[in-house]
Amino acid sequence: MHKLRLNLLHLYMGLFLVYMLAPLVVMSGAAFNDSKLPSIVPWKGWTGKWFSEMIADERMMLAFANTLWVAVAVAGIAVLIGTAAAILINSVSGKVRTALYGMMISTILIPGVVIGISTMILWTKMGNALGTEFFLFNPGLHLSVLGQVSYIAAMVMLLVLARLQSFDAGLEEAALDLGASHGQVMRRILLPHLYPAIGAGAAVAFFQSIENFNVTQFTRGGADTLTVYVFSKVRSGITPTINALAFLLIIVTLVLAVAYELNRRRKAHEEAAREAEARRAEALEEAL
């Protein structure tokens, strides 16, 4: 490739990374600025007070706890439903498969606003129709969980379905022939093969749930999750406590990313070492 174009592309990549990461740096920097408004200019000196104020903010801590339990619930339910859906899709074919698969996938494309409103209306109307005060039918974070599951389950389904493609159904046949029960086939043969995808699905579901704003905003009733709380803070009077929170989240993300990267490099290194070993052995064999 032409030298100039190559350099331009390198430059572009660098600039793009700056574009992606600079806002995060600005946001983190503002967490340490001793100024009532969240900004890095003018710099009024270092301070750690926004962190102590953040910990003292009870509503934020409550919102944080809410976010965690919602995310865990969403991950749990979405993994159950998504895995079941993948197994079902994998065992049907033809028109039924196309229809089912299309319906499942389309949930990812429904706007969050629509999911939020429709979930809210359905469950509260059902409560009214049944004339019950049971908590399930009132607005609240449990409805947020249901709304979020409705599209996050499809993501889990896609991950598990991809993993199912590499599954050898003959193993199940063999187990059945050897007298395994249905439960054992599922527990000992199919699920262990799917665990990596299920784990990835749970992680995706967990983070998608933390991210979610649209569905939660319409279904939450009076309760806060972190995203909703930050949003209300940004719209009303903000103090840099949000920046302190953002800084901590970015640090956690970076630590996880670096750990992942180091692990990956170590594995790649080992792999390369093994390959070299194999090549040497082969060469040796040939020489002999």
Partner 1 sequence: MQDLLRRYGPGLTGLICLLVAFWLVMLVIVPNVTLFEQSFRPYLPVVDIGGPKDTYSFRNYLKVLDGATETSLFGIAFSVPVHVKTFFQTIWYSMVVTVVCFALAYPLAYYMAKVVRPRTVPTLLLLLFVPLWVSEVLRAFAWWIILAFKGPLNVLLQGLGLIEDPIRWTNMGYTGVMVGLVYTYVLFMIFPIYNAVSSLDTNQIEAADDLGASWWRIHWRIVLPHAKPGIASGAVMVFMLSAGSLLVPSILGSTTSQWFTQTIDQWFKDALDWNTASAYAFLLLLLCTVFVSVAMKVFKVKLSDIAK
Considering only residues 34 to 63 of the shown chain, the ones binding partner 1 according to CB under 8 A are 37-41
Task: In angstroms, give the least distance from the CB of 85 to partner 1.
Answer: 5
Return the closest-CA partner of residue 205 out of 70, 60, 62: 70
Q: Find the shortest distance in angstroms from Cβ 286 to partner 1.
A: 29
Can residue 74 be called a binding residue for partner 1 (CB under 8 A)? Answer: no
135 vs 286 by CB, closer to partner 1: 135
DSSP 40: S
Nearest to 245 by CA among 11, 91, 38: 38
**Could you give phi then psi for residue 33, rounded to 5 degrees?**
-85, 130
User: Dihedrals φ, ψ of 179, to 5°?
Assistant: 95, 15
Q: Tell me which residues in 192-211 interact with partner 1 (CB under 8 A).
A: 207, 210-211
Residue number with CB closer to partner 1 (22 or 283): 22
User: How far is 237 from 239, CA to CA, in rounded Å?
Assistant: 7
Reduce the DSSP state of residue 179 to 3 states and report it: coil
Site mask, partner 1, residues 212-231, x = CB under 8 A? Answer: -xx--xx-------xx--xx
Q: Which of residues 250-279 bind partner 1 (CB under 8 A)?
A: 250, 253-254, 256-257, 260-261, 264
Instruction: State the minimum distance, in angstroms, from the CB of residue 52 to partner 1.
Output: 20
Query: Quick one: which segment of 116-124, 133-141, 194-202, 275-283 binds partner 1 (CB under 8 A)?
Result: 116-124
Distance, CA of 211 to CA of 27 (rounded, Å):
18
Query: 3-state SS of 139-184?
Result: CCHHHHHHHHHHHHHHHHHHHHHHHHCCCCCHHHHHHHHCCCCHHH
Judge contact between 255 and 240, C-beta under 8 A.
no
- Binds partner 1 (CB under 8 A): choice among 117, 140, 167, 200: 117
Q: Does 20 bind partner 1 (CB under 8 A)?
A: yes
- Is 248 an interacting residue with respect to partner 1 (CB under 8 A)? no
